[in-house]
Structure 1
Amino acid sequence: MDLLKEYKCLYEQWREEFNKKNLAVLPQNQFLKYKKFYEFIDNFEVEDDDHLKKQILETYKDNICFMFKDILKMREAKIINSALNLREIDMDNIYEAEKLLFQNMVASIKGYQKVKSLSIYENNEKLYFPEIKPQPKEIEMERPENPIESLQTQENMREEISVQVQIEQKEINYSIVRFIKDTPSLVGIDLLHYGPFKKEDIANIPFKNAEILVNEKFAEYIDLS
């Protein structure tokens, strides 16, 4: 491998990407070539104890790693911008992972635009989602003989129902989301009221509700891993 030649090629690719508003040409075979060069340099070690050689190599490695990663970041930003504006991209000039990114984003945006007019979030009314109603066990008991026993029986039934509701709520999965625009209040599948929410608010809500909000571009998941 001609390291100097590969370095110059990578530098020219980086400079072109930096200076151009649109994507520079980077097909799959060229991307794999740069990737192989980057991985080779990143794993290369100087066995010589010469401090100067090691210092030069580290500088060389830092430059190559920076250029390779920066090329990918710049291209990702350009592709996302093109997808958001539904601008066509020459698919022959990008590598495979970029094709998937662009195609998936365009498909998602077009799908969202189709259902946008039907979105249930376009008004400020309180939102209601399908409810999961607790199913308390039927308690068979004889009719109480006096009012005191009747009150005690009603209290016991309330406690039974409360316990059953708590069990149902524990079985519901929750997700933490960040709201990316103002959202009216809603009733979750756990029968609790949530919101209203402002942009950048964070909330822990039932997964089913979170999934709808994320799909409609009102919120995004927060990864805690």
Structure 2
Amino acid sequence: MEMSETKKIDVNLLYAILLREVENDTVQEVDPNLYRNIAEFLGNIKNHDYDGIESKITESLVKMITEMTSILLKIRIEKATSLDEIDYSNLLDEERFILDSEDELRQRKETILSATLNGRLKLLETVGENHRARSIVIRFLKPMDQIMGTDLQSYGPFEAEDVATLPFENARSLIGKKVAVKVSWED
């Protein structure tokens, strides 16, 4: 299969890709737009109003594609991380996005464990302070007057739907009071 040509995804093509992935020990080369093609395919199906038997067929189709995609992603990530060093070859951008956080997680664990076992109190204190001092992005659900941040900066006032970066402690308090929600990658 030529990688440069973007093929429209369907169940048979996805099954063939999954089968090739299962039968090989290394992460296989796939169309760089694979996940976007699947998303587009599912989006098109879900945006149609089918009824009767067509509705049952598309429901099964969505279920099959969902399961195959989940298995494919799981297998590709597991293969890439099965060695001590993550193998980034043939991984798609979306998969690298997932693995970057795993790599970060592993490094953080090593840092904390090493600092603890080697009596590096200062490092542990700094890590704790930096973590508490970090900022997060939130979206306001209702209007809010100006507030004083834990970093002694002024923030606001805010309208509903405003997005802002606030110190962690302030953001956590507003989220707890249901005044705002954390903005995740999907938003």
TM-score (norm 2): 0.48
Structure with the greater alpha carbon radius of gyration: 1
